[in-house]
């Protein structure tokens, strides 16, 4: 509390006391208890500490229909898309991971401009269906046969389909005429459906047609004029046709019931009226 004395000049001197409050001085902070400093990375520099293909450990922070957000400890959550949870088809994210799970992931893509991190649970170097291309040659093992084709293991989570129509350039009656269970074959990819996880194969142009070349070795080419004498007495096609026609005339029998001629209705009615007229004339 401070006392201030006011003494005006025109009026008698009167002493008056005015109270003025002052803010207390701040107490000095005790030594050794300083507030910890939080070091934050600039937004544009977060992804600079990462590299594509790096394996990191993270915690699932949030799960959605299309994937999950994973905290990998760099100040920015990475996106783990549902298609990157496994090489096989995943219907729901909850079937693979849940919120709070500690998982190992790999850096798939980095967008330094937009500061985005794409993650994957598929180890680098693993070939997936999205890496296949139409026309590519692959090697696989025949797993099973059906009436319409064969299923071939080409290293994917799902066996590829080799249809019976794609087993050769010619007609193939049965799949077992071309391949058997356990055969190692080389085929060409004719179709890829990554969404459904389907791969179609074809053998056209890779193998000779079934039965091709089997008859060429058995055919003996003879020069002209080297026909056996017994073949000269064989009748020609014209003679056979003539003999067949003669034999048919001898065995021909007329039908038992002759076809009745058509009767003219107008003529029959005229004849009937004439008979009635003459009968009445004779009676009269």
**CA distances in angstroms from 154 to 57, 127, 128, 147, 177, listed in the order given:** 31, 10, 11, 21, 21
Domain presence at residue 224: no
Please identify, among 202, 227, 260, the residue that sits at the C-terminal boundary of a domain: 202
CA distance 64 to 81: 9
Domain presence at residue 263: no
Please identify, among 120, 139, 164, the residue that sits at the C-terminal boundary of a domain: 120
- Is the domain of 51 the same as that of 83? yes
- Percent helix, strand and coil across the chain, each to the nearest 5: 20, 25, 55
Asked whether the whole model's pTM tops 0.95, one would answer no
- Is the domain of 69 the same as that of 109? yes
Give me the chain's average pLDDT, please: 75
Domain presence at residue 210: no
> Is 70 exceeded by the pLDDT of residue 263?
no
Residue 16 is predicted with a pLDDT of 46
Domain presence at residue 37: no
- Is the domain of 107 the same as that of 174? no
Domain presence at residue 70: yes
Check residues 112 and 216 and name the one with the higher pLDDT.
Answer: 112
CA distance 186 to 166: 13
**Count of domains observed in the chain:** 2
Instruction: Kindly report, residue by residue over 94-140, the tens digit of the pLDDT.
Output: 999 999 999 999 999 998 888 899 999 988 888 788 888 999 999 99
- Is the domain of 98 the same as that of 139? no
- Is the domain of 116 the same as that of 146? no
- Is the domain of 83 the same as that of 101? yes
Half-sphere exposure of 165 (CA within 13 A, CB side): 2
Please identify, among 59, 87, 120, the residue that sits at the C-terminal boundary of a domain: 120
- Is the domain of 70 the same as that of 91? yes
- Is the domain of 78 the same as that of 137? no
CA distance 272 to 274: 5
Instruction: Kindly report, residue by residue over 1-56, the tens digit of the pLDDT.
Output: 444 444 444 444 444 444 445 545 555 555 555 665 655 545 544 555 788 889 99
User: Is residue 87 very low, low, confident or very high in pLDDT (cuts 50, 70, 90)?
Assistant: confident
Residue 211 is predicted with a pLDDT of 53
Instruction: Kindly report, residue by residue over 156-188, the tens digit of the pLDDT.
Output: 878 999 999 999 888 999 999 999 999 999 999
Residue 188 is predicted with a pLDDT of 95
> Is 90 exceeded by the pLDDT of residue 149?
yes
- Is the domain of 133 the same as that of 110? no
* CATH number of the domain encompassing residue 105: 2.40.50.140
Domain presence at residue 152: yes
- The parent domain of residue 74 ranges over 45-120
- Is the domain of 90 the same as that of 146? no
Domain presence at residue 109: yes
Q: Dihedral, CA atoms, 76, 71, 85, 192, nearest 10 degrees?
A: 0
Domain presence at residue 93: yes
| Residue percentage of the chain with pLDDT more than 70 | 61
Neighbouring residues of 57: CB distance < 8 A, sequence distance ≥ 6: 72, 102, 103, 104, 105
- Is the domain of 136 the same as that of 86? no
- Is the domain of 99 the same as that of 147? no
């Amino acid at each position: 509390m401070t006392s201030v004395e006011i003494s005006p000049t025109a009026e008698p001197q009167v002493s008056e006391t005015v109270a003025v409050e002052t803010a207390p001085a701040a107490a000095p902070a005790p030594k050794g208890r300083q507030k910890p400093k939080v070091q934050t990375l600039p937004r544009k520099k977060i992804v600079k500490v990462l590299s594509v293909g790096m394996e990191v450990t993270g915690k699932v922070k949030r799960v959605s229909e299309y994937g999950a957000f994973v905290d990998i400890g760099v100040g920015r959550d990475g996106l783990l898309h549902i298609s990157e949870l496994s090489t096989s088809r995943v219907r729901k994210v909850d079937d693979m991971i849940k919120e709070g799970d500690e998982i190992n992931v790999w850096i798939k893509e980095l967008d330094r401009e937009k500061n985005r991190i794409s993650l994957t649970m598929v180890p680098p170097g693993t070939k997936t269906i999205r890496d296949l291309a139409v026309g590519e040659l692959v090697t696989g093992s025949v797993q099973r046969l059906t009436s319409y084709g064969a299923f071939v293991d080409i290293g994917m989570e799902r066996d590829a389909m080799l249809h019976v129509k794609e087993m050769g350039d010619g007609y193939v009656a049965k799949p077992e005429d071309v391949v058997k269970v356990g055969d190692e074959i080389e085929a060409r990819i004719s179709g890829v459906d990554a969404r459904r996880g389907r791969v179609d194969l074809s053998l056209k142009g890779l193998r000779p047609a079934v039965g091709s070349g089997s008859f060429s070795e058995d055919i003996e080419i003879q020069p002209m004029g080297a026909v056996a004498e017994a073949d000269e007495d064989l009748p020609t096609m014209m003679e056979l046709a003539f003999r067949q026609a003669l034999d048919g005339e001898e065995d021909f029998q007329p039908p038992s019931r002759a076809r009745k001629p058509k009767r003219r209705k107008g003529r029959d009615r005229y004849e009937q009226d004439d008979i009635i007229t003459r009968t009445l004339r004779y009676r009269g």
